[in-house]
Structure 1
Amino acid sequence: MKFDYAFAPTIIGVSIALTQPQIAVALSSAEVAKLGKAITVLIDNKNDSGTGVIIQRQGNTYTVLTAKHVVEAQTEYEIVTPDGQRYALNYKTVKKLPAVDLAILQFTSNQTYAVAKIGNSDVATEGTTAYVAGFPKTSPAFSNSIYNFTDGRITANASKALRDGYALVYSNNTLPGMSGGPVLNDKGELVGIHGRVDTTENFEISDQNPNIIIKTGFNLGIPINSFLKLSAKAGVYAAVKPPSKSVAAPKADDFYIQAGEKYKNGDFKGAIADYTQAIRLNPNYLNAYFGRGVASYNLGDNKRAIADYNQALKINPNYANAFINRGVSRSALGDKQGAIADYNQALKIDPNYANAYINRGIVRSALRDNKGAIADYNQALKINPNYAKAYYNRARTRSLLRDQQGAIADYNQALRINPNYALAYYGLGYAYAGLGDNKQAITNYNQTLKINPNFAPAYYGRGNARAAFGDSAEAMADYSRALRINPNDAKAYYGRGNARAAFKDNQGAIEDYNQALRINPNFAQAYYGRGIVHSALEDKKKAIADFQKAANLYKAQGNTNYYQKALQLIRKLQ
């Protein structure tokens, strides 16, 4: 879905009658879920989808409130009601509110549908219950949009809104396609319109941690009071008048929401400064400590991140997300056992926390407990059978166990769910290379680079596959591309050194091996390759020194085959 926030200059002739209960009491989550399902609609078109909420009925005309970006494109839409009926939307009747990401839609029906009860979003304060309902977008794994209802907590209600009117922040796990859906309080009242999705996952892509998941917990909505005020100013009748709100000094929530926006834009230092201001105003601001920890992690300051997660857990010892993220930071600092302990604690709090199983599996794999890792990925897939990242990580572990066929099956499952999963194509390339099928390997590396042209490991892998075909010129070009993206890739220098040696460019090969060894002084293959070139140049002394260094490293690594080969070459030169 494209989020193009173009504003319409005026609102014309819409009459909205809203009702608000005189007495409201807290309901169970099941009761709110039932109410939410009755008032939530799917807004569908041939290319995309979103969500809306029914806010009024006048005769046979129903009015729906949604996020403006859901209906930004002028195309054909259908409103799908809870009973599955589809009603064509006359786009000429769409009313887009100015300076806020909201739009009003209408459809006509003689059927009876429930209408949302309007709450007071000003009392949706930090720590209060929040529910979000909506229809996640379809995917190859989900051919139909299925109603989704999630619970969470309000983490901020800013007095100064962000761009497009966003001021509510909540911790619910939301998904693309739920934009425009209702944010409900514990009384089942509409207190906001959901608009921005927490992706919930950031990835540190490396050989060690290919798919670590770190929570952000930052979803944004527009308070319903903002809609009431704007509709009143625009001449739209509303039976519920928004409560007056006095201008006050900036509060902790304002700094918190600003920090989240800066984090989203990659300004991690700015985010930390605002989180710190929020904490200064509210020393017990759980989510500000958590957010500052996430920002510190993104700056590579894992010690500071852990300190903030500790503080969050001091405030709430049952905060599973803080255990998850602290585990990520502990793992990054080399404390793998501490990371596992944190993931265990998260699973003790929430036994159905799929991300905790995935992260624990990654750490177990790093500790060479590959069977334990696969057991964790299996558990994640039992919880969510359409979790592409669980298939990806299980495939990677199967590949490490030399089960390339099993790895290929899992990578293909990940791609069935997410056809644009570049890492899964890369993994397929690696698995096919492991089977000696370099033609298929190249095909999959090509697909990886089509999706992500700046993914250096795919150039390196394709270079290896081309070298296996004897195409040293193309291999050299791929290694060079990898090095332009990542000048500290020792393996790419080593590969290019081999390609240059194949062209009898011995000095160029030695330069590349030297570079590889500057980056990784314990790179046995680079010593071995350089030794072969020195031998070709009849520099026996340097060749023997390189082979001896390679032999020592191979022995330490338990690589008996290449250890013996290095010793044989030394004996030939002596």
Structure 2
Amino acid sequence: MKFYYALAPVIIGVSIAFVQPQIAVALSSAEVAKVAKDITVQIDNQNGSGTGVIIKEEGDFYTVLTAKHVIDTQAKYQIITPDGERHPLISSTVKKLPEVDLAVVQFTSRRRYSVAKIGNSNESAEGTTTYVAGFPQATAAISNTIYNFTDGRITANASKPLRDGYALVYTNNTLPGMSGGPVLNEKGELVGVHGRADEADIETSTINPTVAYVKSGFNLGIPINTFLRLSAQVGVDMGVSPPSTSTAAVPKADNYYIQAGDKYDKGDFQGAIADYTQAIKLNPNYLKAYNNRGLARYLLGDNQGAIVDFNQVLKLDSSDVDGYNNRGLARYNLGDKKGALADYSQALRFNPKYALAYNNRGIARNNLDDNQGAIADFNQAIKINPNYAEAYAGRGLARYQLKDQQGAISDYNQALRINPKLATAYTGRGVAKSDLGDKQGAIADYNQALKINPNSAPTYTVRGITRFQLGDKKGAIADLQKAANLNLEQGKTDDYQQLLELIKKLQ
């Protein structure tokens, strides 16, 4: 779509970001990375940090665009510019845009900083390259905030946004603290502001606790055109007119896709499936809609339906690594461990740096009694991602199964340093401690695991056994009965019957 911007008169001492009327040429990722680093700032306060992007220079005053929730508290903020200098955020300049998660702030400096070039977010269609930059917050695994730049693809650009103005969806890996950061196209132009990441990072589904929770790649940004349309309402003159908006009433596949992703993140998997289905009806080649509908079906325990969707993903793109990995998950749940292993291996043929597939293949190998092979896979996953808590936990299990309890505990400790909410690591460490005679330490770990995931039948089972070993017969029976009930609810009738028989022996 062609459109023209009304160019502001040239004013001495004033620099305003605008789209050049010349044809823009795509830049290399390294060139975009340099652009991003020069315009991205950290917004810091004593309780955490966020990100912003410099969009305007006027004398010594710089205007920064960010997500509204980044500066929502009354704390004192500082803007940390690319040269490491700290500048007080001028609180009187904070302007929050109406009805969307955007705000502008200002700082002053006599130093010269780069300003973002404004792009046309309407042109960010499904499949186009996108880049996101920002400053992830420090965690237990990463002690310092480090600038992060990621690449990905647009998966949706909805004409009907979610609440707070979110309409861009992309596959870039983003982390807390990157909110407010720039979303750039392959020309290095600002096409959006990042605001939300896929937060489905708990290890089990609340609907089906027997399966691992997987991310949908649902990362959200607010289109820059939305900002341009609203900026005048808060007195920010960018000297740029946004393109006209389409008023077509024809349903758009991207609108259903973004609504589905929002429902998926909220745990409404049935609602997500319905919306993904509508998106597919409008766009029968919508690969990401098939993939995410498959994930939703997988989380609801419909593994056969999930495999149908992942097969369609691979029909559309036979080299799609997520399709192989996710089909492996469904096959694993159906008891086809060798089929799962084959899918994970195929994913790794196409992407030898796919840490998730190494981790999942390691889990499959653990369950096929190939513990040495599993350790090799977990080692690879950790080599690619040294902060991969689940891979440490998986290696801990493999070491335990090789009778290396101390090595297992060491891995579980590392997993919990990285992710203190990883329930399976507490359970695994508890079992290893129990074997070494530390029954009370084991109980403490089981208790912690059940605080995080109160629907873990295996954890109730091992806690029950440990309680019996400590002479607490009543507590043991209560735990085993709870485990039996959970197994029945989860359709694991064989485990249910075995636990009932064990309870009878203890009574």
TM over 0.5, shorter chain: yes
Contact 1:488–1:519 (CA<8 Å) still a contact in 2? no
User: 3-state SS of the aligned residue for 2:164?
Assistant: helix
1:21 paired residue number: 20
Displacement after TM superposition at 1:477 (Å)? 4.7
Partner of 1:519: 496
Matched residue type, 1:445? Y
- Match of 2:79, SS state, is strand
Tell me which residue corresponds to 1:391: 392
Aligned twin of 1:430: 431
Aligned 8 A contact 1:517 1:526 in 2:
no
User: Could you tell me which residue of structure 1 aligns to residue 176 of structure 2?
Assistant: 176
Contact 2:156 2:169 (C-alpha < 8 Å) held by counterparts: yes
Q: CA deviation at 1:410?
A: 0.4
Shift of 1:465: 2.6
- Identify the residue that residue 269 of structure 1 maps to in structure 2: 270
Q: Matches of 1:359 and 1:401 in 2, distance apart? A: 19
| Cα pair 1:51 1:70 within 8 Å, conserved | yes
Secondary structure (helix, strand or coil) at the match of 2:54 reads strand
Q: Greater helix percent: which structure?
A: 1
CA spacing shift, 1:70–1:486, aligned 2, 3 Å: farther
Q: Distance in 1 between matches of 2:363 and 2:352?
A: 18
Unpaired runs of at least 5, structure 1: 1-14, 492-515, 534-574
Shift of residue 198, structure 1, vs aligned partner: 2.1
Q: TM-score, normalised by structure 1?
A: 0.80
Q: Secondary structure at the match of 2:75?
A: coil
**Residue in 2 that maps onto 1:544:** none
More displaced, 336-345 or 23-32? 336-345
Give the CA deviation at 1:292. Answer: 1.5
Instruction: Provide closer, same or farther for how the CA distance between residues 477 and 104 of structure 1 changes in structure 2, counting only shifts above 3 A.
Output: same
Point out the structure with max Rg over C-alpha: 1
| 1:148 aligned residue | 148
* Equivalent residues of 2:484, 2:500 under 8 A apart: no
| Alignment-derived partner of residue 321 in structure 1 | 322
Partner of 2:371: 370
1 CA distance for matches of 2:316 and 2:495? 47
In 2 relative to 1, CA 339–175 (structure 1 residues): closer, same or farther, beyond 3 Å?
A: same
Post-superposition Cα deviations, 1:417-462, rounded to whole Å, max 9, x if no partner, equal 1233333222221110121210211222233344455555444433
Change (3 A) 1:268 1:461: same
Q: Give 3-state SS (helix, strand or coil) of 1:391's partner.
A: helix
For residue 429 of structure 1, give the secondary structure of its aligned residue in structure 2: helix
Moved more, 375-384 or 318-327: 318-327
What is the alpha-carbon distance in structure 1 between the residues aligned to residue 447 and residue 406 of structure 2?
A: 20
Contact (CA 8 Å) 1:358, 1:380: kept in 2 or not? yes
Q: 1:508-560 CA distances to partner (integer Å, 9 max, x unpaired)? A: xxxxxxxx98933xx3x865875797xxxxxxxxxxxxxxxxxxxxxxxxxxx
SS in 2 for 1:432: helix
1:236 corresponds in structure 2 to 236
SS of 1:79's partner is: strand
Deviations 1:17-65 (A, max 9, x none): 4322222110001110111111111112222221111111111111111
For residues 257-277 of structure 1, the C-alpha deviation after alignment (integer angstroms, 9 at most, x for no partner) is 111112222222222222122
Q: Distance in 1 between matches of 2:256 and 2:503?
A: 56
5 Å-filtered alignment, 1:147-166, equals: 147-166=147-166
Q: Confirm whether residue 343 of structure 1 aligns to residue 344 of structure 2.
A: yes
Q: Is the 8 A contact 1:16 1:236 kept in 2?
A: no
Aligned residues: 491
SS of aligned partner of 1:163 = coil
1:258 aligned partner, one-letter code = Q
Q: CA offsets per residue over residues 371-421 of structure 1, 9 Å max, x none?
A: 111110001011111211111111122222221111100011111212333
What per-residue deviation string (whole Å, max 9, x for no partner) do you get for residues 180-202 of structure 1? 11110000000001111124756
For the 8 Å contact 2:347–2:357, the answer to whether it is kept is yes
Identical aligned residues as a percent: 61
Residues 481 and 75 (structure 1), Cα distance of their counterparts in 2 relative to 1, 3 Å cut: farther
What is the CA–CA distance in structure 2 between the aligned matches of 1:242 and 1:16, rounded to whole Å? 19
| Match runs of 1:559-570 below 5 Å | none
Superposed displacement of residue 299, structure 1: 2.1
Of 359-368 and 296-305, more deviation after overlay is shown by 296-305
Counterpart Cα distance in 1 of 2:506 and 2:124: 71
Counterpart of 1:333, as a letter, is L
* Equivalent-residue separation in structure 1 for 2:164 and 2:459 (angstroms): 39
Per mean C-alpha deviation after superposition, the further-off stretch among 122-131 and 262-271 is: 262-271
The aligned runs of 1:214-233 (5 Å cut-off) are 214-233=214-233
Distance 1:436 1:113, change over 3 A: same
Which residue pairs with 2:75 in the alignment? 75
Determine the structure 2 residue equivalent to 1:569.
Answer: none
Amino acid in the other structure paired with 2:47: N
Equivalent residue of 1:131, what SS?
A: strand
2:63 maps to which residue? 63
How far 1:203 moved relative to its partner?
Answer: 3.5
The separation in 2 between residues aligned to 1:299 and 1:458, in whole angstroms, is: 22
Once the two structures are overlaid, the 10-residue window that deviates more, 312-321 or 415-424, is 415-424
Tell me, in whole angstroms, the C-alpha distance in 2 between the residues paired with 1:526 and 1:484.
10
**Alignment CA distance shift 1:88-1:420 (3 Å):** farther
Asked whether the 8 Å contact 2:205–2:299 carries over to 1, the reply is: no
The whole-number CA distance in structure 1 between the counterparts of 2:392 and 2:495 is: 36
Letter in 2 for 1:93: T
Q: Deviations over 1:81-136 (max 9, x none)?
A: 11111222233432111110111111111122111100000010111111111111
TM-score (norm 2): 0.90
For the residue of structure 2 that corresponds to 1:104, the secondary structure is strand
Which whole-Å CA distance do the structure 1 matches of 2:495 and 2:454 have between them?
Answer: 27
Contact 1:343 1:356 in 2 (8 A): yes
